[in-house]
Amino acid sequence: MKILVTGGAGFIGSNLVDALAARGTDEIIVADDFSSGTRENLAHHASNPCVRVVELDIRDKPRVSEIMRGVNRVYHLAVQCIRLSLRDPYVVHDVNATGTLHLLTAALDENVERFVYCSSSEVYGTARHAPMNEEHPLVPTTPYGASKLAGEAYARSFFITYGLPVTIVRPFNTYGAREHFEGPYGEVIPKFVVRALNNAPLVIFGDGTQTRDFTEVSDTVRGILAAAEADELVGDVVNIARGQEVNINDLAHVVLEALPQSTSKIEHQAPRPGDVQRHFADISKARRVLGFEPRVEIHQGVRHYVDWLMRSEFDPREMLAKEKLRNWE
């Protein structure tokens, strides 16, 4: 099988590439523009003849068509992030919505056998009821969430109109090895860990009662791969998550428990614009259709991330300098 992974140098994408490469049976094209993903995330595949890395901006329609030739399966993870969408919604729309349309058109031309669109729990917005199943209202609170929902709408339309076999996956708050800590791409767990390693305050935006369904990246990747194999999910959508609600105050204490030597304190600042207040996934559909069961709970997952970071070559002081506290600006 010839597989295309867009955004394959990024956090989730590179972990997905690892899992695909470990099977040893497929040709894998990893496409990324390296705006947030890094070549270092793929360096261990340099000697693998089955993995080919190409630089691609998915806004470039002719180039997308060229790279799609002969592809059997697409995992579409290329994306621009939430915080960037607050200051530059146009570029986020162009990548997340128009770029997705380019990929769908090229996939249709090549008769791709399965197109897996990696969406986001951000399409739901704040929970109207919990846990949130796939029928929950879709009311995104940021331009990022809106752009991901636009991508979903395009994907569904290509299934309904043209019969392109599309599956939509909605991951919830994935964390783990290679997750971003810096600038507008940084997420809460790596930011907390970096700050704790430097004995700097763990900054919580708002009162900290907002919740997320934190899902370790190995579970997210297993869910994506399982969804790609499920004929029952063609033309449909599925949540992939831990299925556990954790508030940000409790998360800060989990990080400090994993780094008992840290003298960091918890500090609250004004809420960030567009933040959802509650995310808590109903994963009964993934359990029923995929036999999916998350394996890593939050305490274990945070320890895994800390262990990975300590084994890496990152300098915690340099990491803190790149972290940029007000990460929506």
Active site residues: 144
d(C-alpha 185, C-alpha 327), whole Å: 8
Dihedral, 100, 106, 108, 112 alpha carbons, nearest 10: -90
- Residue 71 one-letter amino acid: V
Residues 6+ apart with CB under 8 A from 141: 122, 125, 126, 274, 275, 276
Q: Which helix (H) or strand (E) covers residue 240, if one does?
A: strand 236-240
Check if the beta carbon of residue 121 is closer than 8 Å to that of residue 83: no
Tokens of 223: 């869910």
Instruction: Using DSSP bridges, classify how beta strands 215-216 and 174-175 pair: parallel, antiparallel or unpaired.
Output: parallel
Tokens of 310: 């300590």
Note the Cα 155 to chain centre separation in Å.
Answer: 18
3-state SS, 266-278, equals EEEECCCCCCCCC
